[in-house]
Structure 1
Amino acid sequence: MTQGKTTTRKTDNRSRGGRAKTESGSSKKEESPEIKTVRKAQGRVEAFRELSTRISAGEAVTLPVQLTGQARREHVRSTLREDHATRIEEQSSGAKDKFDELSGNFFKFFRGTALLFYRDMVGQDASMPTVMALGDVHPTNFGVMPDKNGAPIFGVNDFDEVVYAPFTWDLKRGATGFWIAAREEGELSRKKRRKVVTKFVQGYLAAMENYAKNATEKNDAYRMDNSPKVIRRLFQEAWEDREEWLWDDYLKPSGEGFRPNDELQPLSDEIETFQKAVNTLARRKGFSKPDRAGELRVKDVCVRHGQGTASLGLPRYYVLIEGPSKNATDDIIIEFKRARRSALEGLTPPTEFTAGDKADRIVHGQRVQLAHGDIFYGAVEIDGDSFMSRERAPFRDDIDLDDLSYSTWKDYAEVCGAALAQSHALSDDLGKIDYDLEPSIVEAARPRKLFVNDIMRFAEEAADRLKADHKLFCEDHADGAFDTIDKVYR
């Protein structure tokens, strides 16, 4: 398998009139750059899918994680070019901004390069129980968000990479995320980072054992009244009055639309397009007009610039919905973000379970993993592209890692491990897993001490490897490596 190469070919098969011919003799239309990019990416996904199958079957093969020196540099470069090919070819300003951000911050590099991380795991853990995996577990992908009634709850909050995978894939990604964040944001020593990661894994296993015994996962939820101290503080810090939030951050003086600034670019001529999208969303989700959403009337639309890390550069729109009072004090904002394939696609061990494609996949993951979640989480097609939707809320927030002490780092890691366990435990209740999952995970994680230490050692090794990758990326970025995609000329 050639690492990181996509192919463009010239042909000498021409008719007398000079037009290219197919083998059957019919004229062949030149594909657009966008279609070529999609075909190249799909080819790489299928190549890695085959590699995953071979690894799962026990074949001895060379893995990306084994590459060193220049070979590793070119693997990192080609993987990131491939992952951002559409954004690079569209010359999206967000793509350049993202590469600049990744260059300046190692934790952001980890968050924004999930494909690189998971290609190092291709085909691993085929014997482990399968769950509806979040796919991108790290300390800032847990947070406060609205539930189905618009009230704040705490849990996993980013479903862009969801896919059915071994439960250990989420634990390994999460453990590595806590290791890197505790180093970069918390400035903790290696010994203390081990304690933080251990708490994350122990919190997961303790909660999973509880679900195996009591089966309370469908009813549990972290709320203001029942959360540990570190999460109660997050609830308090995240809370903001809706009226103040709308007028301070979004609305123009009339209250009839978005206020333009560096982040918000109003697109008032797209109201009809997004009204259709909102109507489709309501129909697909099975609700008509929630009391707090008035008549579901779209007042305005804007592009949201500069948001996210992994998704930076992908089209993202905010849609303003008139609230019941009609005076812009209780309006609702729904976000629509273009969906893409999961970074884990083709890399996980073969499984009979599938979550669907693009936005439908994301919605399936949210429906499984967040039992009390946002009713506006959905999937719609806009101008031929797949978009996922969710409600923006005054209290949607994640934790400020800079404010955590060593003690609260451990407390927070333990709570996040438990929240991840709840989302996994729902895989056989609301997802497609057709066997009693919780006892299987508890059994697979024995002996407990060995399992915890294995995850911790994986995180330590992965973080050290990614730190070296980040150095290679920064050097290549400075040399202009990500201004173009890979091509092979012949």
Structure 2
Amino acid sequence: MTVDGGARASTVLDPGAVGPAPPLTPTRRRAPAQVHLLSRNERESRGSAARVLLPRESLADVGTATKRPDPVDLLVSQGQTRVPELLPLRYGRMSSSAFAFYRGAALLMASDLAATPDSGLDVQLCGDAHMSNFGLYGTPERRLLFDLNDFDETLPGPFEWDVKRLLASVEIAARSIGAGTKERRRIATDVAKAYRTAIREFAERPNLEVWYARLDVDDFLREHGGSLGKAQSRTTQSTVKKARSRDHLRSVEKLTEVVDGRRRFLPDPPLVQTLEELLGDQAGAFRAAMGELVAAYQATLQPDRRHLVGQYRLVDMARKVVGVGSVGTRAWILLLEGADDRDHLILQAKEAQSSVLEQFLGASEYTQSGQRVVEGQRLMQAASDAMLGWQRTRGIDGVERDFYVRQLRDWKGSAVIEGMRPEGFSRYGGLCAWTLARAHARSGDRVAIASYLGGSKAADEAFADYAAAYADRNESDHAALVAAIGSGRLDAVHGV
């Protein structure tokens, strides 16, 4: 385990390891702007100067399609560091729709973004800010917030990369539900405007007010619930109720069973595979050794939370398939027992590979990718999981891999994007845009970004143009994946 890039422990974790990631060759590095040393006027001038580097109408540029890498080749390159037997699941999930493909294609978009000029106004990027990576979760204070919830690709970079990722997802998802061209255009410009007006509002606020800003779900519903409409109100209330039911007790009930007097994870291959399925007779010894994982990971927690986790012991592990783009990375669920057999906690240890942005923006300042994810999440979220930490482990093949650790479920919930009605898209997209603006305002020069975007709709229209053009490209890339599966180039498992 590495906390500061120094000493490492040799904890064993990964029975499915296939080899280390190839070394990165960053094309550029960025020095963060010392915003606190600049006056407001100087920061506004930074934004005005950025219009020379990247005129706002140029935000519509998706780059040439003739010289870009083959999209299937890029996806295959990612598979080289993933669990081979899980890749058909990934390709099957991505092939199911253009929006599902987009969710797993962060590397493709990063490659495209890097081929076009940027503003030079850097923030902490989410790196994968599509609509499905926003949702509900519980804070340590037991409040339900709406926020970004996926930071696997987080890295500093130009603010507009996140905005373009969000806007393209809005366009792609709107197409999936049959919204017409004019309606999609209205939705896209509304969402772009929501980001622009939010960042301009944050630019006028004091630092502490920006830092404390959050979208509390109960407060939002009290203030805006009456304007949602009956159908949207019912859907929202159902999502909130479901999120609050997804706690650690529900996870234990759903994922485990008692075997010979001891609680163990239920097998559900290929989505959940127990240690016995993966390791056979070696499972018991491996499980016993994994107590080191929890002990070492605790060093990355705050002292009070370290004390809390220290009251639990590890009793079982299983490998669990998660997400769409993440399929094939190594994700484990850890069953911990506290005072007795009625006191359980389930953690998730998810592999953190290099961000897809690093080969274009330069290597992270953190040598441990799990720490990169955690520190980026803590910076961008209004409040983060009390159990959030990181750990470096060594697999039985001798390969060290980085993981970040969090609770498996803690009031987590999300909207079904492809099941939304058109009238709900602008409002939901606006919430995502406000949330993204707040995250960028915390980590970057919000005054300069606000100055760059300005008070007119020029940037809104350009972002909407980009979204429409990139949605066309995404459809073409999705078709290429479907063709690769149909020709037998790639194996795919559907419906899992």
TM-score exceeds 0.5: yes
Structure-2 change in CA distance of 1:403 and 1:96 (3 Å) = closer
Alignment equivalent of 2:98, drawn from 106, 110, 115: 106
**1:193 alignment partner AA:** R
How far is 1:457 from its partner? 0.4
Structure-2 change in CA distance of 1:194 and 1:297 (3 Å) = same
Structure-2 change in CA distance of 1:155 and 1:243 (3 Å) = closer
Q: Does 1:307 pair with 2:322?
A: yes
How far is 1:146 from its partner? 2.9
**1:413 alignment partner AA:** G
2:5 corresponding residue in structure 1 = none
Q: Does 1:82 pair with 2:90?
A: no
- Per-residue deviation, residues 272-296 of structure 1 (Å, max 9, x unmatched): 4432222222212232556875702
1:8 corresponding residue in structure 2 = none
Q: Does 1:333 pair with 2:352?
A: no
TM-score by length of 2: 0.76
8 Å Cα contact 1:341-1:357 kept in structure 2? no
Q: Does 1:321 pair with 2:336?
A: yes
**1:220 alignment partner AA:** A
Q: Does 1:127 pair with 2:119?
A: yes
8 Å Cα contact 1:366-1:377 kept in structure 2? no
8 Å Cα contact 1:358-1:386 kept in structure 2? yes
What does 1:352-391 align with in structure 2 at a 5 Å threshold?
354=365, 357-383=368-394, 384-391=400-407
2:64 corresponding residue in structure 1 = 66
1:219 corresponding residue in structure 2 = 212
1:344 corresponding residue in structure 2 = 357
- Per-residue deviation, residues 380-415 of structure 1 (Å, max 9, x unmatched): 011121111111125212112244222211110001
2:146 corresponding residue in structure 1 = 154
How far is 1:312 from its partner? 0.3
8 Å Cα contact 2:246-2:412 kept in structure 1? no
2:448 corresponding residue in structure 1 = 440
8 Å Cα contact 2:138-2:410 kept in structure 1? no
Alignment equivalent of 2:169, drawn from 177, 186, 189: 177
1:165 corresponding residue in structure 2 = 157
2:22 corresponding residue in structure 1 = 38
Structure-2 change in CA distance of 1:478 and 1:222 (3 Å) = same
Looking at structure 1, the residues matched to 404 and 305 of structure 2 have their Cα atoms a distance apart, in angstroms, of 19
8 Å Cα contact 1:145-1:153 kept in structure 2? yes
Alignment equivalent of 1:198, drawn from 186, 189, 192: 189
Structure-2 change in CA distance of 1:307 and 1:33 (3 Å) = closer
8 Å Cα contact 2:129-2:165 kept in structure 1? yes
How far is 1:258 from its partner? 1.7
**2:144 alignment partner AA:** P
Looking at structure 2, the residues matched to 427 and 123 of structure 1 have their Cα atoms a distance apart, in angstroms, of 24
Structure-2 change in CA distance of 1:96 and 1:49 (3 Å) = farther
How far is 1:454 from its partner? 0.6
2:41 corresponding residue in structure 1 = none
Pairwise CA RMSD: 3.0
Secondary structure of 2:329's counterpart equals: coil
Q: Using CA pairs under 8 Å that are at least 6 residues apart, name the structure with larger relative contact order, 1 or 2.
A: 2
8 Å Cα contact 2:79-2:328 kept in structure 1? no
1:425 corresponding residue in structure 2 = 441
- Per-residue deviation, residues 153-194 of structure 1 (Å, max 9, x unmatched): 22000000001011100000100011111211x321122222
Structure-2 change in CA distance of 1:291 and 1:399 (3 Å) = farther
1:245 corresponding residue in structure 2 = 250
Structure-2 change in CA distance of 1:86 and 1:457 (3 Å) = same
TM-score by length of 1: 0.77
Looking at structure 1, the residues matched to 64 and 200 of structure 2 have their Cα atoms a distance apart, in angstroms, of 35
Alignment equivalent of 1:234, drawn from 239, 248, 254: 239
How far is 1:126 from its partner? 3.4
8 Å Cα contact 2:248-2:345 kept in structure 1? no
**1:424 alignment partner AA:** H
2:297 corresponding residue in structure 1 = 281
- Per-residue deviation, residues 47-81 of structure 1 (Å, max 9, x unmatched): x559xxxxx999xxxx994244xx76x62232222
How far is 1:355 from its partner? 5.5
8 Å Cα contact 2:95-2:482 kept in structure 1? yes
Looking at structure 2, the residues matched to 292 and 473 of structure 1 have their Cα atoms a distance apart, in angstroms, of 46
Structure-2 change in CA distance of 1:477 and 1:153 (3 Å) = same
**1:208 alignment partner AA:** I
Looking at structure 2, the residues matched to 135 and 461 of structure 1 have their Cα atoms a distance apart, in angstroms, of 20
How far is 1:143 from its partner? 0.8
1:23 corresponding residue in structure 2 = none
**1:82 alignment partner AA:** S
Secondary structure of 2:303's counterpart equals: coil
**1:252 alignment partner AA:** E
Structure-2 change in CA distance of 1:64 and 1:193 (3 Å) = closer
Looking at structure 2, the residues matched to 459 and 289 of structure 1 have their Cα atoms a distance apart, in angstroms, of 42
8 Å Cα contact 1:224-1:232 kept in structure 2? no
How far is 1:480 from its partner? 2.9
Looking at structure 2, the residues matched to 291 and 419 of structure 1 have their Cα atoms a distance apart, in angstroms, of 32
How far is 1:247 from its partner? 4.8
Looking at structure 2, the residues matched to 248 and 259 of structure 1 have their Cα atoms a distance apart, in angstroms, of 10
Looking at structure 2, the residues matched to 168 and 355 of structure 1 have their Cα atoms a distance apart, in angstroms, of 23
Secondary structure of 1:86's counterpart equals: coil
Looking at structure 2, the residues matched to 451 and 378 of structure 1 have their Cα atoms a distance apart, in angstroms, of 38
Structure-2 change in CA distance of 1:211 and 1:100 (3 Å) = same
Most deviating of 450-459 and 365-374: 365-374
Secondary structure of 1:448's counterpart equals: coil
Looking at structure 2, the residues matched to 454 and 344 of structure 1 have their Cα atoms a distance apart, in angstroms, of 23
Looking at structure 1, the residues matched to 472 and 378 of structure 2 have their Cα atoms a distance apart, in angstroms, of 35
Secondary structure of 1:161's counterpart equals: coil
Most deviating of 291-300 and 160-169: 291-300
Looking at structure 2, the residues matched to 287 and 154 of structure 1 have their Cα atoms a distance apart, in angstroms, of 27
Looking at structure 1, the residues matched to 272 and 122 of structure 2 have their Cα atoms a distance apart, in angstroms, of 41
Structure-2 change in CA distance of 1:343 and 1:300 (3 Å) = same
8 Å Cα contact 1:163-1:355 kept in structure 2? no
1:10 corresponding residue in structure 2 = none
Looking at structure 2, the residues matched to 242 and 382 of structure 1 have their Cα atoms a distance apart, in angstroms, of 27
Any stretches of 5+ residues in structure 1 without a counterpart? 1-31, 51-55, 429-436, 484-490
1:396 corresponding residue in structure 2 = 412
Secondary structure of 1:333's counterpart equals: strand
1:431 corresponding residue in structure 2 = none
